[in-house]
Amino acid sequence: MDSVEIAQCRLDKLVMDDRDLIGQADMFETSLTRMLDTDINVDVLKRTVQRGQQVHFKLGDNVHESKVSGPEESWELIDSVAIAKDLVKPYFIGAIDEDQMVVSDMSCRTLYVTNLKDKAISKVLERSGDYRKVVSCTSIGKGMILCGNFCKGATGSCFKGASLYNRQWEFIRDVELPKNPESEQTFASVHVEKGGRILAAVACQSDIHVINPGDGIVSQSLKTGVGKIQWLRSLPSGNLVAKTGPCEFTIMDPTGSNRICIKHDRWDGCLYDVDLSDGSIYVVYRDKTHNVYAVDMVSSDGELEATKVVEYPVSKNRKDVVLPCVVTAPGTLITCNGEYFYVFKLS
């Protein structure tokens, strides 16, 4: 069998192995034909074909597919880890480190930590009778944990929008943030920049607040003028990435100027995280056409670099929401569907 026949067999197997690629078969065939009209470069053809691949994994009795793609590198699913089974409304809120993932049960104000390494699950926080729910979480160095809270029925101009804990989840102090005056319900998205600056954004407001961890007081408020912020991350350059609409986010400098707005209709309800090694932005959303979750990759300057670099199944109990993804280290992406964590590595 010569090189062209080998390439054709690879192409046939790829298309037959993945029904979703049948609609793209013409593209592959056109690419193959164009190559056949010139000198055959099997390595180039191999890279073209390998842009679409599959990973099969088993959860219980069901076998699922997780797609990986990329022009030069691809994401490989290396593990799937179950979260606590008795959670009514599980919500993935963040990572303490590369192994410890934090899940909030939004029905009862309880936090659980799943260790991806040993797959152990621990209940770490329970707020009986407290009106606050934890909706975001990050670590501050190796000593503290910062949580963003959802509050309902808070009165006055401020609310306990964030809380500080030590690594044993012992309470240290609350952080007062300006309350959204338009609603009795409000929440805060918290984030720690690469340089250590602690940021918080209150839902549906345009200001970003800088928190002093020593006393829990807001030391500075940045007036961005971008509209209603719903989610907040930062880039290695110091620029900020704020979710400013159901299917859009805005990249801006620390003063809120020089803004770039990125929007795609398929991103409805999207969330995202940033790889702090290179500034790549990973946008997670639900592909309603194929009923899967997917992740797109966007560059730090707002260019869409790749679509659906990973896909993973929608769960039965949390199919109505998109849960965040987390880049825990360069080349490591953690996603969650409310039943399992999926650990992807770049290869």
**Residue ranges for the chain with pLDDT beneath 50:** 3-4, 7, 11, 13-71
CA 63, CA 27: separation in Å to the nearest integer?
Answer: 28
Exposure on the CB side of residue 172, measured as CA atoms within 13 A? 18
How confident is the model at residue 34, as a pLDDT? 44
CA angle (154, 159, 162) in 5-degree steps:
130
pLDDT, tens digit, 9 for 90 and up, residues 171-193:
999 888 988 777 777 888 899 88
Q: Where are the domains of the chain?
A: 3-50
Residue 294 near residue 284, CB atoms below 8 Å:
yes
pLDDT at 19: 41
What is the pLDDT at residue 5? 53
Q: What is the reported pLDDT for 130?
A: 58
The sign one gets for the Cα dihedral 176, 104, 309, 116 is: positive
pLDDT of residue 86: 84
8 A C-beta contact, residue 32 and residue 8: yes
Partners of 208 in the β-ladder: 201, 222
pLDDT at 38: 40
Q: Is the dihedral of CA 247, 91, 146, 177 positive or negative?
A: positive
Instruction: List 329's β-bridge partners, or say none.
Output: 332
As a whole number of angstroms, the distance between CA 238 and CA 193 comes to 8
pLDDT of residue 2: 52
DSSP letter for each residue of 23-90: GGHHHHHHHHHHHHTS---HHHHHHHHTTEEEEEEEETTEEEEEEEE-SS--EEEEEEEE--TT-SSE
